[in-house]
Chain A
Amino acid sequence: MLTNNNIAVTGLGVVCSLANNINDFWSALLNDSCGIKNWEDLKHLDFKYTHASRVENFECDALQRGFLFSVAAIDQAIQQAKVASQEKWGLFLGTTMGESAAFEAIAEKNKTLIPEDYTGFGICKRLQQKYPKIKTFQCFATACAAGNYALNAGLDALRKGDITIAIVGGVDPFSKIAMTGFSRSRAMSPSGICKPFDLDRDGMILGEGAGFLVLEKVENATKRNTNVLAIINDCALSCDAYHPTAPKPDASGIIDCFNQILKNNVLKHSKIDWISAHGTGTKLSDQSEAKAISNVFKAYKPYVSSIKPKIGHTLGAATAIEAIVSVLSIQHNTIPHTINHTNSEFDIRIPKQPVYTEVNHVLNCGYAFGGLNSISLFSSWN
């Protein structure tokens, strides 16, 4: 361990296609519900693939959808954490594209907008106005690993004592640009069914959403008499430096992250109860991830599952929402299953039903275009 300063997770908030609050979200993860649908509007726009996982019943200005998702998730998280007024907040946001609808509107020439106002920086500025206790913020545009990058920065700022409360999360509203791009990259599922690690998997489904966590030092939470839901120990980062979009075939970057996090935190392999996988359902990404897991976990095989068949790939929000699921898994001693999984291609242990077992250590994985690899570690407290 780099430091003895344990960092607690004391609040959680989520917005995604399954639910707009933590309790409903957790229930939906444990049953067979799925937020993926076929969308007529996408058909009319001449998209080749028209399945997506979008948030319904959330009417808002399309240009502020990311900001408003964030507000909805942050409000839940700070309410649960019962954050005191004298605390010094820092905001750490991960996003892939920010308010993608603004870039689409500029291209459609139906609005005069300044693009920079709609990046993740713009979202952070608006969040700072909404929550004046935010003294400092950082925005990471590290694609589908952005949530873990934000977690890493929040963890570091708390340990250094720069802030007392870290509001950490990720957001990406639905993006027609991403929908087009993943389709043209042949990453989308023609069947509309996301099947991570399955022999018959045929691609990913795009999602949207936001996930935010409140982090603080355990001693701060204890002093405030706030529940410690779990602790976040560490986050490991690496880069493949191999290809703009494809993962490195030998998975060495991911393997480095696994080894680094186990070594730095003095954890035996057998102590890992669950790997919350990136599990997009694409041929190459799943192959590379499974290869890394098999390589690192040889004698002992932890459970591995992905929630993307339920909520789609929420891009910059993905590792933040999956961090929330990691915490919930520890809180409830339950490992969510992977739906749509029938024929395993890899030698990894994928639960087809929720697993009710003691959960003490969870690894939360996210990989991204640009060759980014990221893994965060969550543990039970007491």
Chain B
Amino acid sequence: MELNWNTYETTGNTEADLAKKFVDAIHVENNFEFYGNQTAVCFITLNAGTFSSIAFWENALEHSPRFANPGIFPWTLANATSGYIARKFSITGPNYTIIDNRINEKQLISNFKTDVLKYSIKNVFCVYWDIKKTNKQFSLIAKWSLILA
């Protein structure tokens, strides 16, 4: 089994922006079917959440921890984007966030086979997420693929 990877690139001011733009683009450009608890999300990233973590603590230092912007906090977690993807596509199956600097296709396919047996999974939405920060702007290169049973 080989996976076909698509690439999506965008820029934004926050990690939340990037997630929204990515999901909107997937919605518009594709006619995917997801199957609730029979779909899994596998989100692979080396740095999701790190920039929001830094931004949140900068905000706390500026305003005091008592008054830091609470809206940033959920995005300090690497799994915030995979949770967002799940909410937008109503995916209630397993939701993995793996911290890695590469896509391990063999591992993804192997995990998928296990989840087919265990949860009767029909497909897995795999996303590789790489963020760069230049000055105050974020740029995203996302690669995504759908593994089908």
Contact = CB atoms under 8 A, between A and B. Distances in A.
Interface string A242-261: 11110000000100100010
B95 A96 contact: no
B54 A239 contact: no
Given A176-B65, A183-B66, 9 more contacts: A115-B54, A142-B96, A177-B53, A177-B57, A180-B65, A181-B70, A237-B93, A370-B95, A371-B86
Interface in A174-233: 176-185
B64 interface: yes
A107 B93 CA distance: 36
Interface string B54-73: 11111011001110111001
Contacts of A120: 99
A142 B97 contact: yes
A237 B18 CA distance: 26
Contact of A45 (B53, B65, B70): B65
A138 B57 contact: no
Contacts of A368: 79
- Nearest 6 interchain pairs by C-beta: A370-B83, A181-B73, A141-B78, A184-B70, A107-B57, A239-B95
B47 to A, nearest CB: 5
B79 A180 contact: no
Given A239-B92, A372-B79, A372-B83, A119 B58 contact: no
B22 interface: no
Interface of B: 37, 41, 46-51, 53-58, 60-61, 64-66, 68-70, 73-74, 76-80, 82-84, 86-87, 89-101, 107, 110-111, 114, 117-119
A244 B60 contact: no
A107 B100 contact: no
Interface of A: 2, 45-48, 96-98, 100, 103-104, 106-108, 115-116, 118-121, 124, 138-143, 149, 156, 160, 176-185, 237-245, 253, 256, 260, 264, 368-372
Contacts of A98: 99
Contacts of B87: 241-244, 371
Contacts of B82: 370
18 contacts: A46-B64, A47-B65, A97-B77, A103-B50, A107-B55, A119-B46, A119-B78, A121-B46, A139-B98, A141-B79, A143-B79, A180-B65, A184-B68, A239-B86, A239-B93, A241-B90, A241-B91, A371-B87
